[in-house]
Structure 1
């Protein structure tokens, strides 16, 4: 599923718990293929809503994200879908 995304995000760290954070963001996605495994998208352009929970592991980060894609009714059918992903970030 090749996809390009641009999603600015806001991050909140909890007072006294700097190693735990929540992120949220709304952005845009461009799918290079509209036929996905279980979904047929009506447009290549989709909006992306993201909510993530993560934790710092030294210089690295581990996070779990729930992402919703939808074309916001630009073209019917608007068969939005969700994905759950696990991410790991480590600086080099």
Structure 2
């Protein structure tokens, strides 16, 4: 397992739509633009990513709280494609994600699995997997 410290800051724009609304919930989503920094000794890497993310929001606590699941595939640009001994072979990568979370009023708590790779467009394609917990505040 890689010992990499990850720092991530992002801004998002929620979509003003609700698809497939039922008594259980509805689908919607957001765009996220993020800056990422991965640190491991001298192998520090900076990245910028843009991802459309689809969510399924469950009607649970009314307007006060609600859980959701999400998934998305976006693009990322890294300033170095070597991380530890991993050769990602390209500065341009895909950012895949799946996650779960709960929004309580303006606070959002989530847990995501994220995968970065070039989808086999160039070899070697070692990829990198990240588990990330997030605490966000909506203004």
TM-score when normalising by structure 1: 0.89
Please identify the structure whose Cα radius of gyration is greater.
2
Structure 1 position 15, deviation (Å): 3.5
Q: Does 1:54 align with 2:98?
A: no
In 2, Cα distance between the equivalents of 1:26 and 1:91?
Answer: 22
**Equivalent residue pairs, number:** 92
Range 32-41 or range 1-10, more displaced: 32-41
Q: Does 1:2 align with 2:49?
A: no
In 2, Cα distance between the equivalents of 1:26 and 1:58?
Answer: 27
Cα RMSD, aligned residues only:
1.5
- Structure 1 residues not aligned, in runs of 5+: none
Structure with bigger RCO (C-alpha 8 Å, 6+ apart): 1
Structure 1 position 70, deviation (Å): 1.3
Q: Does 1:86 align with 2:130?
A: no
In 1, Cα distance between the equivalents of 2:116 and 2:66?
Answer: 29
In 1, Cα distance between the equivalents of 2:127 and 2:80?
Answer: 15
Q: Does 1:41 align with 2:41?
A: no
- Structure 2 residues not aligned, in runs of 5+: 1-44
TM-score when normalising by structure 2: 0.61
Moved over 6 A (4+): none
Structure 1 position 75, deviation (Å): 1.0
